[in-house]
Structure 1
Amino acid sequence: MIVVFGSVNVDLVARVSRIPRPGETVLAPTHERHHGGKGANQAIAAARAADGAIPVVMAGAVGDDPLGEAARANLAANGVDPSPLETHDAPTGVAFIAVDDEGENAITVASGANALARPDGLGPLLADAEVLVLQMEVPLAAVAAAARMGAEAGVRVVLNLAPVPIDPHMPTLDALLAATDVLVLNGHEADALCALVGLPDRDGPSRDAALAARCAADVVVTLGAAGARAATRGGESLLVPALPVDPVDTTGAGDAFVGALAAGLAEDLPLADALARAAVAGALACLAFGAQAASPTRAAIEAALRTRTGEPS
């Protein structure tokens, strides 16, 4: 089983001629509602990549409101068990997004119930889990506690350190990193983490290896169109290429990568093979709009892998 503990949001998107300035009102003809939150995105990506081979459950918090009910229904419709989600007397998390004609955006996130997410109920889930997936859109203390529970249960802890916390309580961050087995970052996040833990800010495999040694974890750095790089705690260096695509929307690529990686690890694939699947999933997610809607299926991932290796599809 894959357990995801993290954020559940509803995104409200308005397309405008320009981003409003302070004090200005700009009209939009309509708005769109999408389901989001990095936790929910990664849970759905994992469920699609696993395609029933491994069950996926989502833990976190939503509000006692219609948006919370809709978020639960959306997870269930996408193959994720939402029953561990807590319901709080707080609004469901919402992202308010204004997108202008040039594609630029301005985003305000109201955390709502996500700020109240607690890992207290994870114990029974972790007893049957292979992988625990975490991100940073719920409080650091809650993420660190969840990671500790996963480590104590012998579950492989995958941490997507996104967003990197600003001015975090360092003992708590260190405890989180110490309980992590696989740390996933993009280049900017790797730079930010280096600054927090006092490592030189330099891109490349030597930086990854230094992070792996500092965190005692396998460190995976996503490289966009260049694929992904990994430095293992055992000193091994890996590089997997991306699938060449003409992207239309890169919004969900990182979450698709993490979800597919978790699915591969839960199926006990070697890290290199799980990374190859994740890199393909991230690339395929760029071919459609929307973080969740664009997450590729297992069949699409496997077909792309066969094409890459020259096998008959």
Structure 2
Amino acid sequence: MRLLDGKVAIVTGAGHGIGRGHALELARQGAKVVVNDLGGSVRGEGAGRAADETVALIEKRGGTAVPDYSDVGDAGQCGELVQRAVSAFGKLDILVNNAGIVRDAVIWNMPPEDFDAVIRVHLRGTWATCHHAAKYWRAAAKAAGGKVGGRIINTTSGAGLGGNFGQSGYAAAKAAIVGLTQTLALELLRTGVTVNAVGPAGLTRITATIPGMGEAFEPDEVPEGEFHPMDPSNSSPLVAWLASDEADHVTGQVIRVLDDRIIWMRGWTERATISSGGRRWDAAKLGEVLAQDLFETRGAGLRFAQS
């Protein structure tokens, strides 16, 4: 038995790069895959048939897949995407949200419509597919009178977790996807659906837009069994495992994959706390207290001492 034998998966943005790597790995592990990709440019413009190339690769390797060209930013089309999996293969077990575009610029140079376009694909697209998948799994759980083993794996990034110059739209979307992931993990827990986020890396069409990064390459260009630190599919084995029955105890987590490292992220936690002792804070005196007792710096305290 392979890890995902008998499973049905949707992978969005699977025509190139990281998404293609996920689709290939899920198929390698036995899943039947709906390969979704609108086929547009890295800016989200135009349309094409990139999904066909990934399907052909899966079939060449003995797997089963069908293409889908839905626009994930369109909620109605996301409903049709979920139904396509059910119509083609009888059910849906796994949803991997990977579709994304970039329109980078510093905030004072970024047109609002570019910000909206990035949010639409990354955040709205992730929410919309999750929305329809959740409705499908809740109905299935009610019909079965118990839990279903659904899996959602969303995509965040280093920009969303720590910020990145010139990517206010992209970073905002990827940070929001973490909040969405953790919320859905709570909402879908009783249904038996796990929801996690993976932060992958690799030399893709998106990262290739960064000056000095070099040209993008596809995961199928790396010989099977070999390792390359910038292979877009380095995170795909983790995605396949999270999609499996073995990972039914893992939900609400954020995990990064950088070259050969898997990194479990802690996220925002309480770092230090100060108390006013039950009194209202005095804004005029707050700077000195924050500097010395919270931020553990002495600059403000010295300034007050010298004044």
TM-score bracket for the superposition, by shorter chain length: 0.3 to 0.5
Structure having the higher strand fraction is: 1
TM-score between both structures, scaled by the size of structure 1: 0.40
TM-score between both structures, scaled by the size of structure 2: 0.40
